[in-house]
Amino acid sequence: MSTTQQSVTLSFIGNEPVTGDGIFFKAFAPSLSENLADDFANVSQEQANQAIEKAAEAFPVYAKLSGAQRADFLDAIAAEIEAIGDELIERAVLESGLPTGRISGERGRTTGQLRMFANVLREGSWVDARINPAMPDRQPLPRPDLRRMLVPLGPVVVFGASNFPLAFSVAGGDTASALAAGCPVVVKAHPSHPGTSSLVGQAIVSAAQKTGMPDGVFSLLHADIEVAQQLVAHPAVKAVGFTGSRAGGLALLRVAQSRPEPIPVYAEMSAVNPFVVLPGAISQETGPNSATTVAAGLAGSITLGVGQFCTNPGLVFLLDSPKTQVFLETVAEKIRASAPATMLNAGICQAYQKGVQQNRIIPGVHVLAEADTDAESSQTQGRPTILSTTAPIFLSSPALGEEVFGPTSLVVVCETEAELEECLTTLEGQLTATIYATPAELTFSSVDWVSLLQAKAGRVLFGGYPTGVEVSEAMTHGGPFPATSDSRSTSVGTAAILRFVRPVTYQSFPDELLPPALQNDNPLNIWRNVDGKISK
């Protein structure tokens, strides 16, 4: 079947497929620079309210389901997504311009993180059960029986991301972690990949029906900006997950904070992910600590996925050394040899071109290299470009520290450690910060480079390249503002579930009325903190 001709037009209000009452729009194929055949319709404000109201009705039922029941639901979602087969891959490739291999891998990541959270639920200790048994004879005052655990917040609104049409979209990490926590989810689909979103939405609805979930545990809405903001303003909504631009994230944050009951917005927004190279790390002629090796890897990281990763290294800081020129020449060579490629949509491509142009005309900023091949506007392509400047120019031009989303980076050459320290100190919050150095350079420097970078980022790398986020227990994908709106959280890994829960203490309850996680005989057989000791 040709994906350009299929009719994927539906939103879902709970289990009910609906055609939106709002304006119609087309999906866009960036590699073709043309609209696709099928029509989509945004939902009206009334329809959006219906989705939230269904979620509110589903919440008390869904929140009381066992971890095993919710785990079965997540496993079923993963299976239903896989069952779509090539149709999903083809549609996502068409709507995103990303290659088949990348989308196939992203589908695997999507289903993998759903199953990861299912495993977390079955094991059960994530609820952080803490028990202080009663001490009626304690002097001078008795202690009541106190039992604490995490419980779900309530309905969550998730905004799909443009750059990950599967892994950070309809069934992505925000949705998976919120559903795992016991929260119904209403997803606002990203307009760049509406067909992909509808296919995945249908898969989640099918999984919900097959596993007996309450109607309203999930909804998928195609919606305009005004309706999307009203989703956040609805009094039944208790949290928001967002991945996108700083302007978009801040707009939602303002709505959430201006409500009579403010709610948390977990927004991933903007990062340039500094990449710091000290002289010792590139002092060798060959091998991993050579200027050519590190520079070649950096160029690959900058251009990976047409630079459309939130962890793309957009700023490179070099402490000048005899190998600096070799480093710069190698980066330039690799960038010139790289090929322009299709970006996610025309708006992102235009913003990329504008951002590069604005930086390159700043006095003291030079084009170190750009791809030898011109970008094809008919294929919405971005041309890899690397710029260079000095520390004084960088420090006097605040715009150079802002994100340019795409296959570009700015190299800042610093003459002294003091210059480098000042440059890093001026940076905003980041998702990642990478440092290439020898242990001796970090141990004996007058500057505590690791502490400086730790203060700026949620993930600090010693060597390696930041474009790649492992989905695991120990991952932090977050960081100080404006990388995210709440630096205490992560949107990737098992700890992401903690964004959508709150603690509750039960005092002096009869054992049979307590949640199973807090009952005396520990029927779930989970790890619990009992008077300061961890046990089962």
Residue 46, phi then psi, degrees to nearest 5: -60, -45
Query: SS3 of 22, please?
Result: coil
Q: Which residue type, as a one-letter code, is found at position 93?
A: V
Six token digits for residue 521: 């005989």
- CA count, 13 A, side-chain hemisphere, 473: 3
453 Ramachandran zone, left/alpha/beta (phi>0; psi -120 to 50): alpha
Q: Which of 183, 310, 414, 423 is catalytic?
A: 310
Which residue shows structure tokens 């309450």?
A: 214
Give residues with Cβ within 8 angstroms of 92, minimum separation 6: 98, 103, 106, 107, 165, 166, 193, 196
Q: Are the beta carbons of 184 and 215 closer than 8 angstroms? A: no
Annotated catalytic, 310?
A: yes
Is 349 catalytic? The answer is no
Which is it for the CA torsion 289, 338, 90, 404, positive or negative? positive
Angle between helices 100-123 and 86-96 (to 10 degrees): 120
Among 268, 370, 419, 441, the active-site one is: 268
In this structure, the dihedral spanned by the alpha carbons of residues 425, 429, 431 and 432, taken in order and rounded to 10 degrees, is 0
Place of tokens 């209403």: 186
Query: What is the C-alpha separation between 380 and 341, in angstroms, rounded?
Result: 8
Answer whether 58's CB lies under 8 Å from 184's CB: yes
Burial 63-85 (b: 16+ CB within 10 A, else e): bebebeebbbbbbbbbbbbeebe
Q: CA-CA distances (angstroms) from residue 506 to 70, 511, 516?
A: 23, 10, 12
Cite the active site residues. 268, 310
